[in-house]
Structure 1
Amino acid sequence: MKGIIGKKIGMTSIFSPDGKQTACTIIEAGPCIVTQVKTAETDGYNAIQLAYGDKNEKHTIAAEKNHFAKANTAAKKFVKEFRNYFTAKNLGDAITVDIFAEGEKVDVVGTTKGKGFQGVVKRHGFSGVGEQSHGQHDRQRAPGSIGNSSDASRVFKGMRMAGRMGNDRVKVKSLKILKVFPDKNYILVNGSVPGHNGAIVYIQK
């Protein structure tokens, strides 16, 4: 596996030589610093730990300062492990967008936008109970029946009802890398990725 930590910048579109327009997401990926190397002999599995984004030293505890000092780097905000990395890396090495090439397929992991507490129409796509008629008042966005009364005598788990929506960890698979800009640490991937502009995402293959 190979991967990198990045930040979603926003969306745009590019045009191919034949004039076809493609929507894409701009991700600022890296540079990330290798802050720990794990091996099967010492930790039971092979992995490297990457760190991204500078953190204010005032908000960094002593244990974190010592951990990052071993890699000869300043304190970082975000840390992520990638198992079975595609090539051997040493403590303190920098990982940049150069590990990816145009045309590769990657998976992007992020956290979706939080929508708060929502009703069944927005959360599950319910359409209500239809046209309003005599004796039927304000039922257009109502959930309707949620179960039987005497037989089950309870509401089954998994019933689609109102509740918290969004703020979920989501992986979007097989997104094609359209462009790589090593000078700006930018990657353009086909389509959309979860999260708001400025959200942290993990790109892996």
Structure 2
Amino acid sequence: MAFHEVRFPANLSFGSIGGPERRTEIVALASGFEERNTPWAHARRRYDAGMGLRSLDDLSALVAFFEARAGQLHGFRWKDWSDYKSCLPSQAPSFDDQKIASGDGMTTVFQLTKTYSSGPGRYARPITKPVKDTVKAGIGGNEVFPGTHYVVDHETGLIAFADPPEPGAAVTAGFEFDVPVRFDTDRIAVSVASFQAGEMPAIPVIEVRV
């Protein structure tokens, strides 16, 4: 299996349905209380690519993309229109959107992350597929610049600084990102008549670990 660094047509993913999925194991005790645990450290996202189709031309583009990926065999990039920025959807990414680490005076390479917070809960999501030329970075509250101060591996989400950030200095970043996914089916079944009547084919897409 390979991962193709190509994005599913963004105009087709715009109308898709999907989002994060968690796995929780629940054991009901005799006392009526519950014990809850999860084997997953990270959520896994699922989408339905069929919901974004609006014309037969869209369907043709999807079939071509599906065939070029050999069905489930090869992964690809997916733009999740509900969650594709380091900031709020209405804002533009800034170098201080997300704190991804604190400097220790030695480490130069850091993983891009996006943190989700609500009440006492906090979840840091690794970002492995940043969009090219969208990553901005900062150290200790000051913006630094690509090429001169750092480089980004857009296939892994690793950012490498020319010099290690000072101990305690906040390492921050802002970016747009894609979700690494694959098709979750080896079959597309669609009737032109039913499609023109408004019946959308189900084409599941699922996040993969890379």
Please confirm whether the aligned pair reaches a TM-score higher than 0.5, indicating the same fold: no
User: Please, what TM-score do these two structures have when normalized by structure 2?
Assistant: 0.29
Greater share of strand residues, 1 or 2?
A: 1
TM-score by length of 1: 0.30
Higher relative contact order by CA 8 Å / sep ≥ 6: 1 or 2? 1
Bigger Rg over Cα: 1
